[in-house]
C-alpha cells in the first residue's frame, strides 16, 4: 500500500430520498463532517421538498455540508463507476421507490446506479428504509437486496437510552449507522446492560 493510500480520508456516498426522515440524512452529513470523512451527496427532487417541509434547512444548506454534490440525473458522475473508490454508501432515508429500483437493478438515476455499483463491487451499502407498515412487495425487495449484500437499517428508536428529545433518537440511529463503517461518533449512549438499583 502506498503512503497516499494509507493516509487517504474515508469516502462515503450519501443519498437522501423523499421518504420522511430528512433529519436523519442531515445529521449523518454533520456527523461525517465532524469525523473528517469525505462525502459525496446525491439528493432526489422529492428529498429537497421533504427537507423544506420537515426541517428548518434549505436544500442548499444541506448540500453545503457535503464535499461533493451530484445531480441525480448525472449518470456520468464519478460515483457511477466501479473504478471510483469509496468506502460505501448510505441511503438515508431510503424510500420504497428507491428500494424497488435497487432491487430490480433499474439504475434509472444516479442514486440507484451508485447503489448498483456498491453491490457489484462488493462495497458496503446501507439502506435506511422508511415505511410502515410493510407490504409483501417491500419485504421481498428488502430480502432481495439483502441477499445481494446490502444492509437494511430501519431507524428503529432505542428507547433504552431514555430519550429526552427526537434529537437523541436521531443521534442514536446515526451513530449506529456509522458503527457499520467502523466510525464512532461518540454522541450517543450505548447499551451497557441493566442498571443496578
List the helix and strand counts (H, then E) for the chain: 8, 6
Residue 122, annotated as binding a ligand? no
Q: What are the angstrom distances between the C-alpha of 164 and each of 108, 161, 170, 197?
A: 41, 9, 11, 21
Residue 97, annotated as binding a ligand? yes
List the grid coordinates of 177.
449507522
Angle (nearest 5°) at CA 2 between 150 and 178: 30
Residue 101, annotated as binding a ligand? no
Residue 95, annotated as binding a ligand? yes
Residue 70, annotated as binding a ligand? no
Query: Grid cell 410502515 — which residue?
Result: 132
For residue 110, the surrounding DSSP H or E stretch is helix 110-120
Angle (nearest 5°) at CA 85 between 81 and 90: 85
φ and ψ of 151, to 5 deg: -110, 125
Residue 18, annotated as binding a ligand? yes
Residue 80, annotated as binding a ligand? no
Residue 53, annotated as binding a ligand? no
Residue 86, annotated as binding a ligand? no
Residue 129, annotated as binding a ligand? no
Residue 142, annotated as binding a ligand? no
Binding positions are: 18-20, 44, 95-98, 130, 160, 176
Binding positions for FMN are: 18-20, 44, 95-98, 130
Binding positions for dimethylallyl phosphate are: 160, 176
Amino acid at each position: 500500500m502506498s503512503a497516499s493510500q494509507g493516509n487517504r480520508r474515508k469516502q462515503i456516498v450519501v443519498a437522501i430520498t423523499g421518504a420522511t426522515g430528512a433529519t436523519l440524512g442531515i445529521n449523518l452529513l454533520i456527523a461525517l463532517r465532524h469525523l473528517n470523512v469525505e462525502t459525496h451527496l446525491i439528493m432526489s427532487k422529492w428529498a429537497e421538498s421533504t427537507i423544506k417541509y420537515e426541517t428548518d434547512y434549505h436544500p442548499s444548506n444541506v448540500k453545503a455540508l457535503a464535499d461533493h454534490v451530484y445531480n441525480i440525473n448525472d449518470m456520468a458522475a464519478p460515483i457511477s463507476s466501479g473504478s471510483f473508490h469509496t468506502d460505501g454508501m448510505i441511503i438515508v432515508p431510503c424510500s420504497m421507490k428507491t428500494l424497488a429500483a435497487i432491487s430490480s437493478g433499474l439504475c434509472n438515476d444516479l442514486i440507484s446506479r451508485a447503489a448498483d455499483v456498491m453491490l457489484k463491487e462488493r462495497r458496503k451499502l446501507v439502506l435506511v428504509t422508511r415505511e410502515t407498515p410493510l407490504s409483501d412487495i417491500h419485504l421481498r425487495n428488502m430480502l432481495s437486496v439483502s441477499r445481494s449484500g446490502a444492509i437494511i437499517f430501519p431507524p428503529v428508536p432505542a428507547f433504552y437510552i431514555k430519550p429526552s428529545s427526537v434529537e437523541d433518537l436521531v443521534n442514536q440511529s446515526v451513530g449506529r449507522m456509522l458503527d457499520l463503517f467502523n466510525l464512532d461518533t461518540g454522541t450517543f449512549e450505548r447499551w451497557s446492560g441493566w442498571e443496578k438499583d
